[in-house]
Amino acid sequence: RRGKMAKSTQLIDNEVFRAYATYTAIVLLKMMLMSLVTAYFRITRKAFANPEDTASFGKGESAKKYLRTDPDVERVRRGHLNDLENIVPFAGIGLLYALSGPELSTALLHFRIFAGARILHTLAYLIPLPQPGRGLSWAVGYSVTFSMAYRVLKTVLLL
Residues of this chain that bind a copy of itself (CB under 8 A): 4-5, 7-19, 21-22, 24-26, 28-29, 31-32, 34-35, 49-50, 52-53, 55-56, 74-75, 78, 80-81, 84-86, 88-89, 91-93, 95-96, 99-101, 112, 128-131, 134, 138, 142, 145-146, 149, 152-153, 155-159
Q: Which is nearer to a copy of itself, 86 or 137 (CB)?
A: 86
Residue 155: CB minimum distance to a copy of itself, A: 7
Residue 67 phi/psi, 5-degree rounding, is: -85, 85
Distance CA 20, CA 139 (A): 20
Distance CA 1, CA 11 (A): 18
Q: Which is nearer to a copy of itself, 3 or 61 (CB)?
A: 3
Distance CA 10, CA 110 (A): 23
Residue 83: CB minimum distance to a copy of itself, A: 9
Q: ∠ CA 123-88-42 to the nearest 5 degrees?
A: 50
Q: Which is nearer to a copy of itself, 18 or 45 (CB)?
A: 18
Residue 156: CB minimum distance to a copy of itself, A: 4
Residue 147: how many CB atoms within 10 A of its CB? 17
Of 62, 95, 81, nearest to 125 by C-alpha is 81
With H, G, I as helix, E, B as strand and everything else as coil, classify residue 126: helix
Q: Which is nearer to a copy of itself, 61 or 108 (CB)?
A: 108
Q: Which is nearer to a copy of itself, 40 or 88 (CB)?
A: 88
Residue 119: CB minimum distance to a copy of itself, A: 14
Of 36, 133, 126, 47, nearest to 79 by C-alpha is 126
Residue 40: CB minimum distance to a copy of itself, A: 14
